[in-house]
Amino acid sequence: MEKVNYFEEVEKTLNISFNDKELIDTALTHSSYANGKKGVKFNERMEFLGDSVLQLCISEYLFLIYKSKSEGELTKKRSLIVCENSLYEVAKKWNIGKYIKMSKGEEITGGRERTSILANCVEAIIAAIYIDSGYKKTKQFIIDSFKDIIEKAIKNQIVLDYKTNLQEIVQQDGDIHIEYMLIKYEGPPHRRKFYTKVCVANNVMGSGVGYTKKESEQNAAQDALKKLKSEDKWNKEGIDTNEK
């Protein structure tokens, strides 16, 4: 992709223009790409700044909008909005993974889909906008970008621990057995990918993939929750416990 078209496409995706194109270029450069290249800047320092700006903008927004909520309630809501999963959701909405500059090795091992890389990139983009355009414009960008997530947080529709949530749902009418089983793993020792399935009362209810066992189990639980809801099994009668 030509550099001019690259910047134009990124700006169109984000619906924002940069005065200093180098800022967004740095925000989209992973450390693996800069390794061994003299003078190439990468986004780790910008992640640090972007995290702080995001925290402040969301804190201010919640403080001003929800005047009756306590400090504890506001903190809980903010933690749901400003977390890796939420940042990842925003990154996927932008399809930002396709624009990140990274090494071939990082790309081959799934870097363009990796939760941490995408989440960190969102923070770096926020920092780039803050440096380039100031606080007011950055705050509006954040509120617009995180609008759906903010609404879900306020309505208590964001779940961080899918395993616990699944357990609460399926065991509401009794001690129904839940088991997470590692199906396989692949890849080099430093970048293993794990595949897990979750069984509820001996029925396979979901599957998940992750770069740690914990992540794959959480994704399997999330998959199971989606299926339970779509199959209309999420009701007062509980889950069919007949073995298949």
| Residue 183 domain flag | yes
Q: How many domains does the chain have?
A: 2
Neighbours of 50 (CB within 10 A): 27
DSSP structure class, residue 137: H
Predicted pLDDT of residue 2: 62
Cα–Cα distance measured from residue 104 to residue 33, given in angstroms and rounded to the nearest whole number = 8
3-state DSSP helix/strand/coil % of the chain, to nearest 5: 60, 10, 30
* 51 tagged catalytic: yes
Are 146 and 182 contained in the same domain? no
Cα–Cα distance measured from residue 24 to residue 5, given in angstroms and rounded to the nearest whole number = 14
Note whether 243 and 202 are within 8 A (CB). Answer: yes
Are 28 and 146 contained in the same domain? yes
| Residue 241 domain flag | no
Cα–Cα distance measured from residue 151 to residue 211, given in angstroms and rounded to the nearest whole number = 29
CA angle 17, 146, 92 (to 5 degrees): 80
Domain range spanning residue 213? 162-230
Neighbours of 35 (CB within 10 A): 13
Domain end call among 127, 154, 181? 154
Predicted pLDDT of residue 4: 63
pTM attached to this predicted model:
0.71
* 240 tagged catalytic: no
Are 90 and 128 contained in the same domain? yes
Q: Which of 25, 106, 123, 223 is catalytic?
A: 123
| Residue 10 domain flag | yes
- Annotation-wise, does 202 bind a ligand? no
Q: Which residue has the tokens 């990468």?
A: 42
- Nearest one of 88, 99, 92 to 29, comparing CA atoms: 99
Bridge partners, residue 182, by sequence: 196
- Annotation-wise, does 123 bind a ligand? yes
Domain end call among 154, 179, 200? 154
| Residue 235 domain flag | no
Predicted pLDDT of residue 238: 47
Predicted pLDDT of residue 168: 81
Rg (CA), the chain: 21
In this structure, what CATH number is given to the domain that contains residue 76? 1.10.1520.10
Are 54 and 18 contained in the same domain? yes
Predicted pLDDT of residue 1: 59
Q: Look up residue 184 and give its amino acid.
A: K
Are 104 and 216 contained in the same domain? no
Mean pLDDT by 10 residues, the chain (244 residues): 79 95 96 90 96 96 92 89 89 95 91 89 98 98 95 80 84 85 88 90 90 86 84 49 41
